[in-house]
Amino acid sequence: IEIDKQGATTVERQSARLAPPPMYQVILLNDDYTPMEFVVNVLERVFAKTPEQAEQLMLKVHYEGRAVCGVYPRDIAATKVEIVRQLAQSRQHPLQCVMEPVP
């Protein structure tokens, strides 16, 4: 609803569909110290991977340096990054997690 300077009101229907939200990739980075089992656990708990998916994705990060763990709207991606950082910090692991806009 808009009200102009003369006090007239205009009511416009919202378009039927909203544009999809911008999406962000959440990416895990390899390091030499974080235990493989810890990374698998994070992938299961934070990214809802099965044990098999988590193992494969952990190995992809290990051998390729990084891998996309999931794609989410901004706030959800940011929350997952924060949770991974807190889990890693709480165990003193250097595991790095970042988010990047989907190209």
Which residues are at the interface with ligand NFA (CB under 6 A)? Answer: 28, 30-32, 34-36, 39, 58, 61-62, 95
User: Which contiguous run of DSSP H or E holds residue 73?
Assistant: strand 66-73
* Closest separation in Å from C-beta 66 to ligand NFA: 9
* Closest separation in Å from C-beta 23 to ligand NFA: 23
Q: Closer to ligand NFA at the Cβ: 81 or 95? A: 95
Q: Closer to ligand NFA at the Cβ: 22 or 51? A: 51
What single letter denotes the amino acid at residue 36?
Answer: M
Q: Mark 38-77 as b/e (b = at least 16 C-beta within 10 Å).
A: bbbbbbeebbebeeeebbebbebbbeeeebebbebeeebb
Q: Closer to ligand NFA at the Cβ: 22 or 50? A: 50
* Closest separation in Å from C-beta 69 to ligand NFA: 10
The end-to-end CA distance of the chain, in Å, is 34
